[in-house]
Structures are given as C-alpha cells and as structure tokens.
Amino acid sequence: MSEANDHTLSVHGAYEVSTDPSRLDRERVHHWLSTDAYWALGRPRATQDRAIDGSLNFGAYHRETGEIAAYARIITDGTTFAWLCDVYVDRAARGTGLGTALVTAVRDHLEPFGLRRVLLATADAHGVYEKVGFKPLDEPSKWMALGAS
C-alpha cells in the first residue's frame, strides 16, 4: 500500500489522487492518450512528455498496487486562468466514479489560486464535468481559437 504524502489530494475508494510527479507512469499515460483518446490519437511520445513537463499533472492511483488508473493535467498561469485537458480514466476503472473524483480533486486543488476561469473541451463527458460545477460558456461567440479546431 502506498503511503500518503503532501502530494496526495484525496482518496476515492481504492484510489488516491496525487500530484506527485515521481509517481506518474508517462508510458501508460502516453499509451492511453495516443491510442484511445479521440483528441490525442497518434500523439507522439516526445510531444506528450513536453506537455507533461509544462503542466500540473494529476494521477489517480490504486492504493494497494500504486498503479495509475486515471490522469488529468492543467495548464495554468496559477493566477487567472487554467485549462483542464487530457482527462482519461482507464477502461477497467470506468463506472466507479473515479473520473468525477479526479476532476473534483483538480477543482479543489485549484480553488486556493482564485483562478477566474478554468476551461475545458469535451465531446462526450459533459455530465462528469457538470457534477463538479462546469457549465457551457455563457457567450461562446466571444471565444476564438488559433489553430486546428
């Protein structure tokens, strides 16, 4: 059983959520995202590693085995804005509430920063995010993007 440290944010059943970078299984995260996540299919490992290095990373780990079961990352300036992305729950752990627990831990971890906006994009998991307070943009016509959409 893994021991809690100051990176452990919460516990959900058999899982604990942590920001400890030494626990992150980069190979597994890359495999999940590059082979099973519609938004990152084919993403090269070097690209994923750079994304991890430039982000605040969250892992949900099985408390007995220490194996990673879910992942999320935040891109932020730590003051006014954050982007939640690459949220992924291993297929074997889906349906357990782990995704909601992970996103709740992210939200709670960010709250003391007083961020004005935390954004995300999803094609199929609106219900997970709505449970922790996310809602559609009030005025999406104000937002613009540079690059692929």
Give the 3-state secondary structure of residue 101.
helix
The domain tally of the chain equals: 1
Nearest-5° Cα angle at 138, 124 to 100? 35
Answer for the pair 87, 72: CB distance below 8 angstroms, yes or no.
yes
Residue 1 lies inside a defined structural domain of this protein = no
- Residue predicted with more confidence, 108 or 148: 108
Q: What domain range is 90 assigned to?
A: 8-133
Confidence (pTM): 0.90
Residue 139 lies inside a defined structural domain of this protein = no
Residue 3 lies inside a defined structural domain of this protein = no
pLDDT number for residue 149: 58
Residue 92 lies inside a defined structural domain of this protein = yes
Residue 142 lies inside a defined structural domain of this protein = no
- Kindly tell me if the per-residue pLDDT of 39 is higher than 70: yes
Mean pLDDT rounded to a whole number for the chain: 91
CATH number of the domain that 63 lies in? 3.40.630.30
**Total residue count of the chain as it appears in this document:** 149
Locate 13 and state its tokens.
Answer: 């059943």
**What is the arithmetic mean of pLDDT over 26-36?**
98
68 forms beta bridges with: 61
Residue 119 lies inside a defined structural domain of this protein = yes
**What is the arithmetic mean of pLDDT over 125-136?**
92
- Kindly tell me if the per-residue pLDDT of 7 is higher than 50: yes
Answer for the pair 2, 16: CB distance below 8 angstroms, yes or no.
yes
**What is the arithmetic mean of pLDDT over 95-103?**
94
Residue 2 lies inside a defined structural domain of this protein = no
Please return the burial class of 139, using the count of CB atoms within 10 Å of its CB with bins 0-12, 13-18 and 19+: exposed
Could you tell me whether strands 81-89 and 15-18 are parallel, antiparallel, or unpaired per DSSP bridges?
unpaired
